[in-house]
Structure 1
Amino acid sequence: MFTYTPPIDDYRFLLTHVLGFDEAMRDLGKDVDSDLAAAVLEEAGRMCADRLLPLNREGDEQGSRLTADGVVTPSGFAEAWRDFAAAGWAALSAEEEHGGQGLPFVLQLWLDEMMSATNLSFGLFPGLTRGACEAIAAHASEELKATWLRPLVSGEWTGAMALTESGAGTDLALLKTKAAPLGDGSYAVTGTKIFISSGDHDFGGNIVHLVLARLPDAPAGVKGISLFLVPKFLPDDAGGFTRRNGMSVGALEKKMGIHAQPTCVMNYDEAVGWLVGEPHRGLAAMFTMMNAERLMVGIQGLGIAGGAYQQAAAYAKDRLQGRSADGARSPVAIIEHADVRRMLLNVRAFVEGGRALAGWVALQLDRSRHHPDAAERAKADALVALLTPVVKAAFTDMGFEGAVQAQQVFGGHGYIREWGMEQYVRDARIAQIYEGTNGVQAMDLVGRKLGLGGGAVVDDFLAMIAADLDGAGGLVIAERTLGALALLRTATQALRGAEADRAGAAAVDYLRLFALVSLGWMWTRMAVAAGQDDSPLHRAKRDIAGFYARHVLPQAHGLADAIGAGEASVMALSADAF
């Protein structure tokens, strides 16, 4: 039977023993401790397991559909959303001044993990709404904030972002959507956008689109892009929102996965909207939303791998096949076979290490927003900027790999729909693509983030890792991670200021190496925290840390060799020969 057990014990271990949650909250002046945090996560996990998971398979099979009245989501989704919002989950980490609960962002990310593990299509609705809230809060006028923020924060309304056009994907300089001033402070937005997640639905309430478009006097390229708030329903004379705006769904994309999520082609036909932020500065405002979304997408990879692991581990304990290693027993549960254990350990080593690293980044994000010292806020903000492409790209790559390995544990049954594993693989694949493909994330890391603070940000981060490893008392995981860290430092020096082809040839391998070291750092911290405690959880942490050190970290040497090989062999073959 398909089930999900929220990893509450692991969250509690990280909060109390690894991440120093209580001390971090005291530094930020927040009246939240690890007991309260664990209680919130436990309730969130119950909601995901009991309410969202049962909708996942049926939602995948039904899909969203387009009718004359708009998008209809699968059975149970609209009711689940209204209950989700009424219970306060949509407002979990939003600022209290906007009607949110103001709880730490680490709780938000781990809620995102559990939603992704149980129903990725559903989890996109609150994630995109939260991103819209952050962009509006950071860049919109006080008048727009007063009108639009609170119902978005509460989940009464939802949000979507509209960037991509058929001829303008990663290169937003090519977008053609126009915005013409109407003379009353609003604008008429006209154009077509594709790949718009949560673009329309039947949950009730408004849907607020943040749309990139060009003003009539816009300069060419990305410097001529502005951001507009374009709602499905406009204010009426009675103060409600009943007037239908000039926007419609042209089609629903037919996709490999996330079938329950309505991914729309959106047509804007002189739709009324309002400028968010300054004219021609739309990318700065949109990136506030996109950076929040990129962390969320990384957690999607983590969540899917965790959910798939749970099904595969349960199956491996139950499925009888083959003989024991000594030949004395047959059949045996496949969990006894070394290769099956190898696959499961690969997935679990990523999931638990990634969960810890995500928690650390989330605490830095809270620190960047709430620490009383401006210098500490700036330092934390730079660390979040550095780690965002790593979390997005590495977690989604490893998450997809984890879903495939979990499917492999099932053998032929993993390829059959009724077991549910093939949905994990299909759903996981999109996370490597949207919110900036993983190759783009790698280029961002090498081309932009290595230069933050003149290179000091990455150097200080690697020094922080080294200090923890040096203080780990000679653990194997610490020693092996130190070796990988030395390779990463060499690669970092080699790629500082690298020319485009050199950076492009090495970027994906460099990001993977960066992630392996970062996860090794987290496994070292977990192994130290586990100490010699003989509880099952602590023993497991020590054992998995040993597996990571001996079976995963050796990848660092091959990655370092590839990075050092340069671009010559990548660029040698002529374009015509492909």
Structure 2
Amino acid sequence: ARIEGAPAGAKGVSLFAVPKIWVNEDGSLGEPNDVSCIGIEHKMGLNGSATCVMNFGENGRCRGHLVGEPGMGLAYMFQMVNVARMAVGLESVAFGANIYANVLAYAKERVQGTPFGKGGARVRIVEHADVRRMLMNLKSLTEGMRALVYKTYFMEDLAKNSLDEAERKRAKGRLELFTPLVKAYCSDRIFEMGREGIQILGGYGFTKEYPVEQYTRDCKIFSIWDGTNFIQSADLVGRKLSMGGGAVFKGWIEEITAFIGAHKAEKAFSRELEILEEALRTVAGLALDYARYLGEGKLDLVPLTSTRFLDCAAEVAIAHLMLEQGMIALGTLERGQCGAADQAFYRGKVETVRYYCRNFLPQVFGRARIIRMEDTTAVEIPEDYL
């Protein structure tokens, strides 16, 4: 809200705590404040949490306590929002893990149909190739998103607690670069993962007998609140790529380049490293394209394509982190440092890394081709034609 006489725009917005009942100076309860709930929202999901419409000052008698300094309302709000954006990524990982666990258990028990082109006895649906594909989509996305979220939280820890000033600065830059990826990529993917989970369950997925339909409804808000995913992509292209004169983005590119160079001899992931190297060059090239678009005044190309660019950057980041995990898993297996019970985990990690790099990372190339077409049909078409 605005204090009387506050300047126009964001600088005039202040933050207030508004009590339901006014508290007297002596601590006793006074008269009710002029604030009321005028309606409950009927939502698609998150129905365990009541969301309402609040009315402040209907009778001109609403009072509140100023929080902090006047004119700092939006700045304070964004401190909360940045925390919430990271939490969206973490929540997406939690939803993904639960969706995967539920549908994997079902797929191992449900018997239906025979394998494509093979005939014979009916089999559990986990033995069907298409179901395996969807299960691996869920598994690799969940593990990839978890890697991105945990890495970014680690950067937050370093930015706040490292004793090395240079390390704190580097970590803060990486945290700011990755936050829109965590929020937008994870929240877009988790809704798609809900669709995959429902599909694996078949008709049961469309019922409330299994929780996946609820997860899918509940998670849709993630791409909307705390700044829509377009806002995240516009922030990435408009602000984050140029942070520190481009040094933050360049440092990330150089880190992945060094990783690829250090592991070129690893034959087990040679194909995946080649895809990552090409995808990295593509993302770096797209960043230069955006600088050109802005310089040439082709401003519409940013909102028309930035969500695609964000997905490209996120998939490169995740593929890099997944390959780091894959290298560790390979080393552990080769050294025989795990018992039989852990071998399935490490071998599963290796295959999951391969799957993500071969099935998600190549999407970078298709998106890049679309971006570089510089198509502006969506903004040029007359409104009457819509």
With normalisation by structure 2, the TM-score equals: 0.89
* Residue 339 of structure 2: aligned partner: none
Deviation of residue 532 (structure 1)?
A: 4.6
* Residue 537 of structure 1: aligned partner: 345
The structure in which a higher percent of residues are helix is: 2
Show the 5 A alignment for 1:409-420: 409-420=200-211
Q: Does the 8 A contact of 1:400 with 1:425 survive in 2?
A: yes
Relative distance call for 1:233 and 1:386 in structure 2 (3 A) is farther
Give the counterpart of 1:319 among 110, 119, 122: 110
> What is the SS of the residue equivalent to 1:218?
coil
Deviation of residue 237 (structure 1)?
A: 5.5
Deviation of residue 313 (structure 1)?
A: 0.8
Show the 5 A alignment for 1:225-240: 225-232=13-20, 234-236=22-24, 239=27
Which stretch of structure 1 is more off in the superposition, 300-309 or 408-417? 300-309
Show the 5 A alignment for 1:103-502: 213-232=1-20, 234-236=22-24, 239=27, 245-269=33-57, 270-324=61-115, 327=118, 329-472=120-263, 473-474=265-266, 475=269, 476-496=271-291, 498=294, 499-502=298-301
Give the counterpart of 1:511 among 310, 316, 327: 310
Q: Does the 8 A contact of 1:321 with 1:333 survive in 2?
A: yes
Deviation of residue 575 (structure 1)?
A: 2.2
Relative distance call for 1:241 and 1:446 in structure 2 (3 A) is farther
Distance in 2, matches of 1:388 and 1:286, equals 16
Cα distance per residue 1:142-198 (max 9 Å; x no partner): xxxxxxxxxxxxxxxxxxxxxxxxxxxxxxxxxxxxxxxxxxxxxxxxxxxxxxxxx
Q: Does the 8 A contact of 1:321 with 1:330 survive in 2?
A: no
Cα distance per residue 1:417-463 (max 9 Å; x no partner): 22222111111111111111111111111111111111111111121
> What is the SS of the residue equivalent to 2:64?
strand
Distance in 2, matches of 1:243 and 1:367, equals 48
> What is the SS of the residue equivalent to 2:183?
helix
Deviation of residue 285 (structure 1)?
A: 1.4
* Residue 207 of structure 1: aligned partner: none
Q: Does the 8 A contact of 1:394 with 1:515 survive in 2?
A: yes
Deviation of residue 278 (structure 1)?
A: 2.6
Deviation of residue 277 (structure 1)?
A: 3.1
Q: Does the 8 A contact of 2:89 with 2:145 survive in 1?
A: no
1:419 counterpart letter in structure 2: Y
* Residue 40 of structure 1: aligned partner: none
> What is the SS of the residue equivalent to 1:418?
coil
* Residue 560 of structure 1: aligned partner: 368
2:157 counterpart letter in structure 1: D
1:214 counterpart letter in structure 2: R
Q: Does the 8 A contact of 1:501 with 1:567 survive in 2?
A: no
Deviation of residue 563 (structure 1)?
A: 1.5
With normalisation by structure 1, the TM-score equals: 0.60
> What is the SS of the residue equivalent to 2:150?
helix
Q: Does the 8 A contact of 2:183 with 2:232 survive in 1?
A: yes
Distance in 1, matches of 2:110 and 2:384, equals 51
Deviation of residue 399 (structure 1)?
A: 0.8
Distance in 2, matches of 1:283 and 1:229, equals 14
Cα distance per residue 1:188-217 (max 9 Å; x no partner): xxxxxxxxxxxxxxxxxxxxxxxxx11211
Cα distance per residue 1:113-154 (max 9 Å; x no partner): xxxxxxxxxxxxxxxxxxxxxxxxxxxxxxxxxxxxxxxxxx
Q: Does the 8 A contact of 1:302 with 1:396 survive in 2?
A: no
Tell me: higher relative CO, structure 1 or 2? Use CA pairs within 8 A at least 6 residues apart. 2
State the superposition RMSD in angstroms.
2.0
* Residue 181 of structure 1: aligned partner: none
1:305 counterpart letter in structure 2: G
Distance in 1, matches of 2:17 and 2:169, equals 29
> What is the SS of the residue equivalent to 2:18?
strand
Cα distance per residue 1:440-494 (max 9 Å; x no partner): 1111111111111111111111211222232234423322211111110110111
Deviation of residue 393 (structure 1)?
A: 0.6
> What is the SS of the residue equivalent to 1:410?
helix
Distance in 1, matches of 2:314 and 2:160, equals 25
1:259 counterpart letter in structure 2: N
Relative distance call for 1:486 and 1:225 in structure 2 (3 A) is same
1:515 counterpart letter in structure 2: A
Cα distance per residue 1:326-366 (max 9 Å; x no partner): 73642111011111011111111111011111111001111
Q: Does the 8 A contact of 1:408 with 1:414 survive in 2?
A: yes
* Residue 550 of structure 1: aligned partner: 358
* Residue 38 of structure 1: aligned partner: none
Q: Does the 8 A contact of 1:404 with 1:425 survive in 2?
A: yes
Relative distance call for 1:333 and 1:492 in structure 2 (3 A) is same
Distance in 2, matches of 1:513 and 1:398, equals 13
Aligned residue pairs: how many? Answer: 366
2:149 counterpart letter in structure 1: A
Relative distance call for 1:450 and 1:250 in structure 2 (3 A) is same
> What is the SS of the residue equivalent to 1:260?
coil
2:318 counterpart letter in structure 1: L
Deviation of residue 412 (structure 1)?
A: 1.4
The structure in which a higher percent of residues are strand is: 1
Gaps of 5+ in 2: 334-342
Cα distance per residue 1:35-68 (max 9 Å; x no partner): xxxxxxxxxxxxxxxxxxxxxxxxxxxxxxxxxx
